[in-house]
Amino acid sequence: MSEPPELTDHVECDTVIVGGGFCGLSAALALAEQGCDVRLLEAGPLGYGASGRNGGQVHVGMRQDQHWLESHLGSTKAHEFWRMGQDARDNLDRLIADYGIECDFCDGQIYADHKPGYVSHSHAAARHLQEEYDYQDVEILDRDELRSMVASDVYYGGVFDRRGGNLHPLKLARGIAMAAEK
């Protein structure tokens, strides 16, 4: 995909978006899917900043675990946030599939506990997701199961999330841009 042309003249459109990171590109695509005439303004290459340079991990849920969210926001809000995270993950799958975005997506994410004291917390968090959120894509791993997956004996246990994953973030950003351009 080529970079957007420099804006040198007066242009009329339905919407102008400033910023060519994930938020701006996703907004441009969502509006274009609805038939809007969109222009995106970006000072540098698309996806050049944090969007294209992050580690590419695809997490399910929020930055804080559900126990934390429940204790700070209450059960209802915590469940709403969980659903929002699930919807975002579903949307990522839809974008990749519908637009054939080649972003080197790899399914699955391991959360490995490097201290013995972390194991009970990670296992409790996984059981909580299974029981309270009906999330069955998380698997509790003991030391031997984890060792068979990562070929290392420095971990004491952990969790495997089948819906987590990893991707190439710049390729994803460029793929979203190409989809919006089409």
- The answer on pLDDT for 1 being more than 70 is no
How confident is the model at residue 7, as a pLDDT? 80
Going by C-alpha positions, the residue among 58, 71, 60, 77 that lies closest to residue 129 is: 60
Mean pLDDT, the chain, whole residue set: 94
Res. 2 pLDDT band, cuts 50 70 90: low
Residue of 56, 85, 75, 55 whose CA lies nearest to 128: 75
**pLDDT band per the 50, 70, 90 thresholds, residue 9:** confident
